[in-house]
Structure 1
Amino acid sequence: MSHAEDLNDYPTSARADYVFGCMKANGETRQSLEQCSCSIDVVASLLPYDRYISAETVLSMAQVPGEMGGQFRSTEQAKTATNDLRRAQAEAEVRCF
């Protein structure tokens, strides 16, 4: 099995989207740019891009009301995907902020 750090498989646009969202949440300062850039690097080193996309999709679809969104909130696969992303983000928080 490959590790994300071996692949560097996050496209620039995905990294930029992450940093943009992170900066919106943490202040649009030079310091937050550095911290958010560090954060996506840590996430990318821990989570292969395909798993990152799966987790982001689950989180987005879980916002849909009703039965459709419920499928993304309640399945074990959805919980695993989001938990993997949250663990990577927690590690990034420790290392970068």
Structure 2
Amino acid sequence: MTRPALRIALTAMLALALPARPLPARAEAPHHPKHDYPTAARADYVIGCLAANGFKRELLDKCACGIDTIADLMSYDDYEKADTILRMQQGGLGERGALFRDTPIAKDETEKLRRAQAEVNLRCK
């Protein structure tokens, strides 16, 4: 047997001796949201999402999907405004709290976040 023929035969035998493994699934390209959020804000959202759902490990991807979806739909500045307004509304500030409940700006900003959250419920299952 010639050297090239021997090499081909050995390669074929080696290929047959190797266990057949399925090809790895094609990895999805990572999703990069339209708007860049600080890591701390992203982590805060995910931790809050997990806390609201009993810290179940299987919800980690869903919570991460949630902040990615919001980052696709809202700039970080808009998200921060809406989040601040919602936190202030929950703070029980009496008359001063009315600024965060009853103004058109507060209503517009929180409505943007509510629409984004509705999209999260559709996209992240």
The answer, yes or no, to whether TM exceeds 0.5 is: yes
**Which residue pairs with 2:19 in the alignment?**
none
**Which residue pairs with 1:47 in the alignment?**
74
**Which residue pairs with 1:16 in the alignment?**
43
Deviations 1:17-60 (A, max 9, x none): 00000011123122210100001000000010000000011111
In structure 1, what residue type is equivalent to 2:57?
A: R
Matches within 5 A, 1:4-83: 5=34, 8-63=35-90, 64-83=92-111
* 1:66 Cα deviation from its structure 2 partner: 1.0
In structure 1, what residue type is equivalent to 2:110?
A: T
Q: What's the TM-score once normalised by structure 2's chain length? A: 0.70
Q: Matched residues, percent identical?
A: 53
**Which residue pairs with 1:88 in the alignment?**
116
Task: Name the larger-Rg structure.
Answer: 2
In structure 2, what residue type is equivalent to 1:72?
A: F
Distance 2:108 2:86 in 1: 12
Q: What's the TM-score once normalised by structure 1's chain length? A: 0.89
Task: Point out where structure 2 has 5 or more consecutive residues left out of the alignment.
Answer: 1-32
Task: Point out where structure 1 has 5 or more consecutive residues left out of the alignment.
Answer: none
Higher-helix-fraction structure:
1
* Structure with larger RCO (C-alpha < 8 A, sep 6+): 1
Larger CA deviation: 57-66 vs 16-25: 57-66
Distance 1:33 1:9 in 2: 20
In the TM superposition, structure 1's runs of 4+ consecutive aligned residues that sit over 2 Å from their partners are none
